[in-house]
């Protein structure tokens, strides 16, 4: 018998519309699972059970009255970097542990307008800075495939929650891989939209062009549905993409044409190599794509290593601008202080030059690669690692070096502003750990990318593959 939590969000919404389950029953079922399993996984920082049940009762009344919101009554969660009115938003930091925003991020408003009900705020590293999730509030987020290993970052709590079936889908954000990294570590789907596809309003900013909201899901159709809910510009957006002419769910239901796909497995940074498991998953994905009729071509990694130091100027400057009182700096984690102090060393001229370099260089890459419809790489260079692997030296410079060893593929797609997704297409043996493979499309072509992702999912489905442990029951 299929349990409620084994259904994706689309299937749960269908049950609710047929009145085969009530929203109160569905929300309570997932809250019970959060109560039983979230602490062991470090998935949530804040759980909002009572407000969720109140919204569920309201959803049942609306369903009875024929309300057509597509996901009315379906559970979700928001990352604890995302502003939620009346619900604390800690940004993974003890400095912000009592912060309760007065206003929702626009993406929260849009997701809730689609009918989703939030069950709380998912775990994230301090200010979302690292590719692993750990903080001084609730500790690390762990992949349900092996709780000795980190769930990845910075949307680690979201990925752990979705993989363990605590929620079917979760909002997430990605400034250098923060959706795709944990998706790979937890064996789920992570979709980063094109730059400007999802609004950062009303209080957020897309000044660097790196970060944006997306979703972590178990199925491609749910990722498309979440983007359908999110992809609506707000007046005043810096780089708005218009509402799409065709829904992303419609793209996901459409067979793609024969595509010209470029692939590489060599990181853009010298001295870093992808692991055997990462390359094996990438090779298997290449063969699968060829079996589906696509042309897969080997190319050299088109991104130059000179991007990295300029990316670091932008990344550290963002942290230097964070709302941290001077007297609270000593309470920050060493990795956070490292980025804040590094950012203070950069001048305004340094920052302007860095942004210009990223934009000009990645424009050249996108232009030189225009003959290819899609790019194929590993998501990560290594399988999920323990939190201690990153932090054991006590030196944040070494922490940064190890993060680059771990994830040398994802950030270039933030610099280029292209849509990119991690799919759980590979697995290690003994222990069994998920290994993601990354597919990226042309800027603004999120829809065609969804067609390919859905085709791949249909040929090599993964949604029924549950991680071992008590959460699989």
What are the pLDDT digits (tens) for 357-411? 999 999 999 999 999 999 999 999 999 999 999 999 999 999 999 999 999 999 9
Amino acid 99: pLDDT? 97
Return the sign of the alpha-carbon dihedral for residues 214, 215, 216, 219.
negative
Q: Which pTM was predicted?
A: 0.98
DSSP assignment string, 52-78: HHHHHHHHHHHHHTT---TTTT-EEEE
Active site residue 83: no
Amino acid 93: pLDDT? 98
Amino acid 31: pLDDT? 98
Amino acid 438: pLDDT? 99
Q: Among the options 178, 265, 278, 286, which is catalytic?
A: 178
CATH number for 13-472 (one of 1.10.1280.10, 3.40.50.261, 3.40.50.300, 3.90.1300.10): it is 3.90.1300.10
Q: What is the pLDDT along the chain (473 residues), one digit of tens a residue?
A: 689 999 999 999 999 999 999 999 999 999 999 999 999 999 999 999 999 999 999 999 999 999 999 999 999 999 999 999 999 999 999 999 999 999 999 999 999 999 999 999 999 999 999 999 999 999 999 999 999 999 999 999 999 999 999 999 999 999 999 999 999 999 999 999 999 999 999 999 989 999 999 999 999 999 999 999 999 999 999 999 999 999 999 999 999 999 999 999 999 999 999 999 999 999 999 999 999 999 999 999 999 999 999 999 999 999 999 989 999 999 999 999 999 999 999 999 999 999 999 999 999 999 999 999 999 999 999 999 999 999 999 999 999 999 999 999 999 999 999 999 999 999 999 899 999 999 999 999 999 999 999 999 999 999 999 999 999 98
Identify the three-state secondary structure at position 447. helix
Environment class of 18 (CB within 10 Å of its CB; exposed 0-12, middle 13-18, buried 19+): exposed
Q: Among the options 79, 118, 199, 387, which is catalytic?
A: 79
| 182, 151 contact by CB (below 8 A) | yes
Structure token digits, residue 330: 């000593």
**Residue 89 pairs with which residues in a beta bridge?**
none
Identify the three-state secondary structure at position 194. coil
Structure token digits, residue 125: 């590293």
Q: Among the options 154, 265, 278, 451, which is catalytic?
A: 154
Amino acid 459: pLDDT? 98
The DSSP code for 187 is T
Amino acid 336: pLDDT? 98
Amino acid 157: pLDDT? 99
Identify which of 316, 309, 310, 311 has the alpha carbon closest to the alpha carbon of residue 339: 316
Active site residue 22: no
Q: For helices 446-459 and 276-291, what crossing angle results, to 10°? A: 90
Active site residue 205: no
Peptide bond into 202 cis (omega under 30): yes
CB atoms within 10 A of CB 94: 15
């Amino acid at each position: 018998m299929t349990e409620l939590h084994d259904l994706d969000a689309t299937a749960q919404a269908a049950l609710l519309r047929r009145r085969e389950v009530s929203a109160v029953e569905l929300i309570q079922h997932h809250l019970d699972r959060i109560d039983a399993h979230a602490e062991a996984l470090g998935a949530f920082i804040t759980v909002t059970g009572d407000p969720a049940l109140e919204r569920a009762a309201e959803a049942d009344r609306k369903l009875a009255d024929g309300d057509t919101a597509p996901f009315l009554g379906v559970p979700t969660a928001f990352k604890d970097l995302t502003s939620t009115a009346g619900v604390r938003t800690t940004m993974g930091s003890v400095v912000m542990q009592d912060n309760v925003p007065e206003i929702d991020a626009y993406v929260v408003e849009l997701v809730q307008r689609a009918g989703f009900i939030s069950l709380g705020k998912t775990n994230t590293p301090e200010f979302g800075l690292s590719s692993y999730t750990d903080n001084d509030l609730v500790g690390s987020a762990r992949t349900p495939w092996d709780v000795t290993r980190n769930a990845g970052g910075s949307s680690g709590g979201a990925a752990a929650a979705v993989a363990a079936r605590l929620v079917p889908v979760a909002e997430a954000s990605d400034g250098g891989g923060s959706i795709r990294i944990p998706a790979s570590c937890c064996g789920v789907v992570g979709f980063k939209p094109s730059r400007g596809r999802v609004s950062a309003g009303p209080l957020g900013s897309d000044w660097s062009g790196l970060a944006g909201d997306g979703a972590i899901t178990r199925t491609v159709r749910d990722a498309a549905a979440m983007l359908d809910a999110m992809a609506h510009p707000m007046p005043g957006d810096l780089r708005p993409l218009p509402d799409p002419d065709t829904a992303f769910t419609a793209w996901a239901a459409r067979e793609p044409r024969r595509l010209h796909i470029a692939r590489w497995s060599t990181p853009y940074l010298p001295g870093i190599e992808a692991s055997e498991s990462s390359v094996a998953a990438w090779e298997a994905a290449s063969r699968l794509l060829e079996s589906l009729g696509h042309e897969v071509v080997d190319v050299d990694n088109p991104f130059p290593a000179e991007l990295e130091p300029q990316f670091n100027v932008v990344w550290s400057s963002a942290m230097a601008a964070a709302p941290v009182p001077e007297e609270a700096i000593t309470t920050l984690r060493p990795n956070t202080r490292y980025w804040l102090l590094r950012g203070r060393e950069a001048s305004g001229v340094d920052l302007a030059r860095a942004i210009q370099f990223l934009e000009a260089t990645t424009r050249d890459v996108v232009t030189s690669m225009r003959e290819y419809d899609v790019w194929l790489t590993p998501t990560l260079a290594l399988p999920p690692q323990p939190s201690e692997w990153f932090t054991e030296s006590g030196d944040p410079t070494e922490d940064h070096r190890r993060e680059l060893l771990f994830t040398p593929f994802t950030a270039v797609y933030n610099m280029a502003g292209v849509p990119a997704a991690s799919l759980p297409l590979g697995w290690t043996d003994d222990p069994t750990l998920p290994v993601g493979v990354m597919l990226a499309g042309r800027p603004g072509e999120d829809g065609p990318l969804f067609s390919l992702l859905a085709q791949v999912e249909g040929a090599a489905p993964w949604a029924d593959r549950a991680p071992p442990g008590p959460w699989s029951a």
